[in-house]
A and B are shown apart, each in its own frame.
Chain A
């Protein structure tokens, strides 16, 4: 079952602006991961944040996790046209590496 909700569903910004995507989930998690998917392609792992972490950075990416609110956010700073893609959060419960995906956010960065 799909437990994650993401907002916005679609986001259109100008190159250079920041993009923020939010994800909420329903059950307890082991960790939360963000993935990127270009149209019709496979998923690229972006960043993993563990349930005992609150914030993590990787290059232009910043992820936060609030387990009390069961939510996470992905911030992409100084966006580029090449960042245009769908972004999904995915959680795995304590029973292994099965991922439950959010609905995804379609990001379009206009140059």
Chain B
């Protein structure tokens, strides 16, 4: 079964609204989770590192005020796309490293379409 759950799988929103995407680790606790973005036919690009109990760390070029990350607990991180625009339409996917087996597990991803 799934080790990492991501919700919603698909979301369509209007320009200017905000959308929240959840990433849950089902089998283990994680102090760190990662958020990636993947545009069609491209590879995954790291957006930010979600840190439990502290602020997220953003990669260069990623607007922290636009992509709000909250690591609410050791099993949940949320990504909120604020004031979404059509160019934010993309596939967003989270990863959760399991330090016990050195494996990094990915969620199923969330398709965001901004109209």
Residues of A within 8 A of B (CB): 1-2, 4, 31, 33, 35, 40-45, 48, 88, 90, 92, 96-104
- Cα–Cα, bound, A90→B106 (Å): 13
Q: Are A104 and B6 touching (Cβ within 8 A)? A: no
Residue of A nearest to B96 (CB): A97
Partner of B43, one of A2, A31, A44: A2
- Cα–Cα, bound, A88→B104 (Å): 14
Residues of B within 8 A of A (CB): 6, 32, 34, 42-46, 49, 60, 91, 93, 95, 97, 102-109, 111
- Cα–Cα, bound, A100→B6 (Å): 21
Q: Which residues from chain A contact B49 at a C-beta distance below 8 Å? A: 96, 98
List 14 other contacts, CB 8 Å, given A1-B60, A48-B103, A97-B97. Answer: A2-B45, A33-B104, A35-B106, A41-B108, A42-B109, A43-B93, A45-B105, A45-B106, A88-B44, A92-B104, A97-B34, A99-B104, A101-B43, A104-B43
CB distance from A92 to the nearest CB of B (A): 8
Partner of B104, one of A1, A2, A41, A45: A45
- Cα–Cα, bound, A100→B97 (Å): 14
Residue of B nearest to A103 (CB): B43
Residue of B nearest to A4 (CB): B43
A-B contact pairs, 18 of them (CB 8 A): A2-B43, A4-B43, A31-B102, A40-B91, A41-B108, A42-B93, A42-B109, A43-B93, A96-B97, A97-B97, A99-B44, A99-B46, A99-B104, A101-B44, A101-B45, A102-B43, A103-B42, A103-B43
